A = this chain, B = another copy of it.
């Protein structure tokens, strides 16, 4: 349940936070910008400030509840942190985002970090693609 997630993260259970979670849960293209979330809320007659949406999303990110991405450039998009890590592919023509999982690539990244005396904490991989002729 969503309330538990908030409490576990040491965050008070407030209406804005619950509503933001709800929007992320029902998101169809499940990568939403802060403005996207804000618009959905306004649309649903939930009085909430844009600044609060930004604050809440950032807190959720720190709590591991959501993941932030910077696909193209300029603005961030968020998605609920699912149990399964995945990377993204952006169709340059349509802008559509495709998710994929590849264990071999994940493994290689750890090895590369190790070869340089580091441990991998996180990574961001985005493939920019075009429909094959």
Contact = CB atoms under 8 A, between A and B. Distances in A.
Interface stretch (A22-30, A48-56, A123-131): A123-131
8 contacts: A98-B116, A100-B116, A117-B132, A118-B130, A118-B131, A121-B130, A122-B127, A123-B127
Contacts of A109: 105, 127
Contacts of A132: 114, 117-119
Q: For the side of the interface on A, what is the size category?
A: 35 or more
Nearest to A113: B129
Contacts of A126: 123-125
Contacts of A121: 92, 128-130
Interface in A61-79: 68, 70, 73, 76
